Chain A
Amino acid sequence: MSISLMLLVIVIILLGWAFSIYNTLVRLKVRITNAWSQIDVQLKRRHDLIPNLVEAVKGYMAYEKDTLERVIKARTQAIDASGLKSKEQAENFLTQTLRSLFAVVERYPELRANQNVLRLQEELTTTENKIAFARQYYNDEVRRFNTKIQVVPSNLVASMAGFQKREFFQIEDKTEKETPKVKL
């Protein structure tokens, strides 16, 4: 076997390995896009549920107008937001307003027993859970991608092909991290 033939074989093997790493990185990147669209779907669903909830409670909560208005404003803001950071902020704010709305609903016994309100509460709870899970899945995929980019054999291929680190979907809002105070 001549040396040039051996070199050729080695080059082919190296190329094959590089291609397979590149393909893995591309696949991971596509999964990240898929995960992001999952979050988007759930956030949209929450936006669509909120007007129904406001309609259902409006008739009973005549004195809580400002809470309702805050929810509606937060929702419009969240729909209009664009870009990762501002979207995060708007959605976190919307979660806060919804939480205060539910706290108020608890104080009205007829609302607590109303079938429509109960159903909508359940829908919103499950949507919040789905948002949390979608975020978790997105962060898991981003973690895998970022790890793969930085680990030794594949970081060469990654830097040559121009793959960048992706950001996690973080909690921006500091008040969410505080322990909730219970006012009695």
Chain B
Amino acid sequence: MSFSFIEIEESKTRVIALVFIFIVFFYFLTAYLLLIVIENSLAVHFPEMLQREVFFLPPVKHTLLVFILALAAALTHWIISTDNLIQKITLAIGAMPFDPKDTYHQYFKNIVDEVAVAMGGRLIEAMVIPSPGMNAFSVQGFNGRAIIGVTEGLLTRLNRPQIEAVVAHEAGHIAGGDSLSTTVVSSLSEIYEEILSKLRAGIGKARGRGTAAMILIYAVLVIMHFLSSLLRYFISREREYRADAIAVRLTRNPLGLAEALKLISSHWRGAGGQGQRLEAIFIVNPRHSKLEERQGLFSDIFSTHPPVKKRIQILLSMAHLDEKTLEDNLKNFRRVSPVAVAEFKPADSAGPKRWFISRDQKWLGPFLLSELRQLEGFRPDQWVRMQGQDAVMPAYEDRDLKKIFTQNKEAGFNCPHCKTALEEMNYEGVPMLKCPYCEGALVEQNKVSRILLRSDVKFSEDTVRLAQSIINSKAKYKLKEIDSGSAWVLSCPQCGRTMRRQFFVYSYPVEIDRCMYCTGIWFDKQELELLQYIYEHRDKYFNGKYF
């Protein structure tokens, strides 16, 4: 990097010191003004008590006291905001650590590692926000811990060079040293947002019981809130340009970043929800705001990101291309799934793997993996042949059969219908447990949304036909039509309790079994694919009307 680490450390400390001084100053200013008002009003009402002229400045002793109180308030504010800084912020925006069993998340972690190597080998953690919007963020803590995160929507919509460019941009913030100050300042201004929103909720509930003191406190907090938004002045817009430049320097690919910015900015950026004040840590402001697209003193103070158009222009000039080429590229942009996925094989053609084993000179079988596990006398040196293959090998050489000898017990969960042992597998990159016989699947509740967002798998003709007929018949199920005495009642494979048969969501006519105690959802044979298909074609299904 062209700036030495010493310069970065020095500028970091300077900014943080300045921010702290600013906070002390504004607490002091507010308290001092209050002090003047109070002392003056006391003098007006009780002139005998104070025996002074009509308007005056408070004596030094009082000012000193107020200053100490302000210092205490600033320290409290600082400590509350920056204690466990990273945890607070990641909780506020809903970021979760990446799931190592998920192929997409592992792929994202690989990209983060690559960019870390390009920076000289720094440790950077990866997180994912489970939101369909597109955005990316970076935070840094006081002990040097750095995190880069993206949303699920971004992972499913960008290809490798683009994701790399986005990650390199975030790494540029970390390398450039401004990610720490941005994190601290965002957290400082966030606290009033939190307090106010809690108060608003509280006041809403306690209508009519408010006293004058409560209203005064609320007013003071609103003023503090506004003043803390001035803290945004410490976050310059220019740092985004610098991070863009570092991203190009790391990846040598300005077009990738330009495409990514264009795609992100023209899509929902994940606004709403918590973390309203935390916009600065994202690559593109989650809120679409006209203020940002302008330049000038006012927007320089109050917006945290420069105009996206200008950023794209600068990047395109680096690549010696123009806007038209960018738009053409994006029109012809067909995203190739980064994790090449096996095509869906309908049940009758291939099915689960089976092996023939050789015993007493005869070929027995074909057996499923779970059956071989329970077979008596099955030893590692017995010859096996996989169904559909010609190669004959001893059992310990087969990758899947090796598992039998190395694992002493199974995953432990059995299919609620046919009691076969469930096998771990990835569908659309998401880890889940599948029954090799009846093709039912057990998926954790919070992972289903990932499956819906991703669309790599081709559906079988059967599924497509069934889904089309559901869409065309425009069957809209009403609550009354849920049959409570339904045909079967399943027990949860994980905890054994009875699962409830219901719609996954009431807008889509796909019934599933949900365990109300643990986090599992059981999908029968085609239910998951149907749900995915109808979700992907929801425009047709809802005919433009969602309600």
A interface vs B, CB < 8 Å?
24, 27, 31, 34-35, 38, 42, 55-56, 59-60, 62, 112-116, 118-119, 122-123, 126, 129-130, 133-134, 136-137
Beta-carbon contact of A34 and B114 below 8 Å: no
- Residues of chain B within 8 A of A116, CB atoms compared: 399
Chain A residue nearest in CB terms to B119: A137
Beta-carbon contact of A126 and B339 below 8 Å: no
- Residues of chain B within 8 A of A123, CB atoms compared: 110
Residue B107 lies at the interface, judged by CB distance under 8 Å to chain A = yes
Beta-carbon contact of B118 and A56 below 8 Å: no
**Known: A59-B391, A59-B393. Contact between A133 and B114, CB under 8 A?**
yes
**Which single member of B107, B114, B342 contacts A130 (CB below 8 Å)?**
B114
- Residues of chain B within 8 A of A31, CB atoms compared: 120
Residue B483 lies at the interface, judged by CB distance under 8 Å to chain A = no
Give B343 Cβ to nearest chain A Cβ, in Å.
7
Give B137 Cβ to nearest chain A Cβ, in Å.
22
Beta-carbon contact of B340 and A118 below 8 Å: yes
Residue B84 lies at the interface, judged by CB distance under 8 Å to chain A = no
Beta-carbon contact of A113 and B342 below 8 Å: yes
Chain A residue nearest in CB terms to B390: A62
What 1/0 flags go to B101-136 for Cβ under 8 Å of A? 001001100110111011111000000000000000
Residue B398 lies at the interface, judged by CB distance under 8 Å to chain A = yes
**Which single member of B339, B391, B399 contacts A118 (CB below 8 Å)?**
B339
Beta-carbon contact of B121 and A126 below 8 Å: no
**Which single member of A34, A62, A126, A136 contacts B118 (CB below 8 Å)?**
A136
Which residues of chain B (231-274) have a CB below 8 Å from chain A?
A: 250, 252
Residue pairs across A and B with Cβ atoms less than 8 A apart, 26 shown, are: A24-B4, A35-B120, A38-B120, A56-B399, A59-B391, A59-B398, A60-B389, A60-B391, A62-B390, A62-B391, A113-B342, A114-B342, A115-B425, A115-B426, A116-B399, A118-B339, A122-B103, A122-B107, A123-B110, A130-B113, A130-B117, A133-B114, A134-B117, A137-B118, A137-B119, A137-B120
Among B110, B117, B399, the most chain A Cβ lie within 10 Å of the Cβ of B117
Give A121 Cβ to nearest chain B Cβ, in Å.
8
Q: In the A-B complex, list the 8 residue pairs whose CB atoms are closest, starting with the nearest.
A: A113-B342, A133-B118, A126-B110, A130-B117, A133-B117, A129-B114, A38-B121, A130-B114
Q: Is the interface of B mostly helix, strand, loop or mixed?
A: mixed
18 extra interface residue pairs, beta carbon distance < 8 Å, beyond A59-B399, A119-B103:
A38-B117, A59-B393, A59-B397, A112-B340, A115-B342, A115-B425, A116-B399, A122-B107, A122-B110, A126-B110, A126-B111, A126-B113, A130-B113, A133-B118, A133-B250, A134-B118, A136-B118, A137-B118
Expressed in whole angstroms, the Cα–Cα distance for A62 and B390 within the complex equals 10
Give A87 Cβ to nearest chain B Cβ, in Å.
18
B interface vs A, CB < 8 Å?
4, 103, 106-107, 110-111, 113-115, 117-121, 250, 252, 339-340, 342-343, 389-391, 393, 397-399, 425-426
Expressed in whole angstroms, the Cα–Cα distance for A113 and B118 within the complex equals 31
**Which single member of A27, A34, A122 contacts B339 (CB below 8 Å)?**
A122
Expressed in whole angstroms, the Cα–Cα distance for A62 and B250 within the complex equals 42
Give B8 Cβ to nearest chain A Cβ, in Å.
14
Expressed in whole angstroms, the Cα–Cα distance for A62 and B392 within the complex equals 11
Expressed in whole angstroms, the Cα–Cα distance for A126 and B115 within the complex equals 11
Expressed in whole angstroms, the Cα–Cα distance for A115 and B393 within the complex equals 20
Expressed in whole angstroms, the Cα–Cα distance for A35 and B389 within the complex equals 46
- Residues of chain B within 8 A of A137, CB atoms compared: 117-120
- Residues of chain A within 8 A of B252, CB atoms compared: 136
- Residues of chain A within 8 A of B106, CB atoms compared: 122
- Residues of chain B within 8 A of A130, CB atoms compared: 113-114, 117
Give B25 Cβ to nearest chain A Cβ, in Å.
36
- Residues of chain A within 8 A of B117, CB atoms compared: 38, 42, 130, 133-134, 137
Expressed in whole angstroms, the Cα–Cα distance for A126 and B160 within the complex equals 11
Give B141 Cβ to nearest chain A Cβ, in Å.
23
- Residues of chain A within 8 A of B121, CB atoms compared: 34, 38
Give A98 Cβ to nearest chain B Cβ, in Å.
17
Beta-carbon contact of B115 and A133 below 8 Å: yes
Give B331 Cβ to nearest chain A Cβ, in Å.
26
Expressed in whole angstroms, the Cα–Cα distance for A38 and B389 within the complex equals 42
Expressed in whole angstroms, the Cα–Cα distance for A62 and B385 within the complex equals 14
- Residues of chain A within 8 A of B4, CB atoms compared: 24, 27
**Known: A62-B391, A130-B114, A133-B115. Contact between A113 and B120, CB under 8 A?**
no
Chain B residue nearest in CB terms to A56: B399
Give A105 Cβ to nearest chain B Cβ, in Å.
11
Give B487 Cβ to nearest chain A Cβ, in Å.
35
Expressed in whole angstroms, the Cα–Cα distance for A118 and B425 within the complex equals 13
- Residues of chain A within 8 A of B120, CB atoms compared: 31, 34-35, 38, 137
Expressed in whole angstroms, the Cα–Cα distance for A137 and B391 within the complex equals 46
- Residues of chain A within 8 A of B114, CB atoms compared: 126, 129-130, 133
Expressed in whole angstroms, the Cα–Cα distance for A34 and B120 within the complex equals 8
Give B249 Cβ to nearest chain A Cβ, in Å.
9
Expressed in whole angstroms, the Cα–Cα distance for A131 and B425 within the complex equals 30
- Residues of chain B within 8 A of A129, CB atoms compared: 114
Give B27 Cβ to nearest chain A Cβ, in Å.
41
Beta-carbon contact of A113 and B339 below 8 Å: no
- Residues of chain B within 8 A of A56, CB atoms compared: 399
- Residues of chain B within 8 A of A133, CB atoms compared: 114-115, 117-118, 250
Expressed in whole angstroms, the Cα–Cα distance for A38 and B426 within the complex equals 32
Expressed in whole angstroms, the Cα–Cα distance for A122 and B110 within the complex equals 9
